Amino acid sequence: MQEILKYFDEFSDKQLQQYSALAALYKEWNEKINVISRKDIDSIYLHHVLHSLSIAAITSFQPGQEIIDIGCGGGFPGIPLAIFFPEVRFHLVDSIAKKLTVVNAVCESAGITNVTTQHTRVEQIKDRKFDYAISRAVAPLKDLWQWSKPLLKKSTPHTSEDILANGLICLKGGDLHEEISASLTRPTLYSIYDIFPEPYFKEKFIVYVKK
């Protein structure tokens, strides 16, 4: 928890309780269904929760908005962001049902009520639109953009520079030049190490593609 509180301090008691509950819940569920690397489970707040919250450091989702988490796995970045933005609706999608079992159980136990889940491949979703698509290390940017673009609502103008226009926001690492070139997009890159100067975040980036 200290890794989060080092950078964020305006949480309600309920949010603090929810974040505090995550470590024990994921350790318990990871014994049954492996959704987090064994070597990472003891670093869940730095490697998973704070990593997810880097998105909250660059933009503010607005009450009533809808976010789709593509290939959510065990619930990152969706669950930490759902706690951070309790008035925003998060739809977590994965093609592997047992991962969603973990997501649903964690949300129920931690009292997270603004998360829904769907067992499907994202390209099969045809009847919904979202303000943003988020994702972490799921697929190449070219695929993520191809999947998310049809699901994104048109942007409405924002008066604040702290709010990104509708689009795809994904967490990626390493040398991204070839991946970006292949995607035929012109994304904005944010260095997570510049936001959270922890050694773990060197060479990790937020990639944002505007709708």
Residues present in the chain in total:
211
Is 75 known as a binding-site position?
no
Task: Give the list of residues 6+ apart from residue 108 with CB closer than 8 angstroms, or none.
Answer: none
Residue 105 buriedness (CB in 10 A; 0-12 / 13-18 / 19+): middle
From residue 69, alpha-carbon distances to 20, 54, 79, 206 in Å are 22, 15, 9, 14
The neighbouring-strand residues paired with 4 are none
> Do the annotations mark residue 3 as ligand-binding?
no
Q: Is 136 annotated as a binding residue?
A: yes
First to last CA, the chain: 34
φ, ψ (nearest 5 deg) of residue 132: -140, 155
Q: How many CB atoms lie within 10 A of CB 158?
A: 14
User: Which residue ranges are tagged as binding site?
Assistant: 71, 76, 122-123, 136
User: Which residue ranges are tagged as binding site for S-adenosyl-L-methionine?
Assistant: 71, 76, 122-123, 136
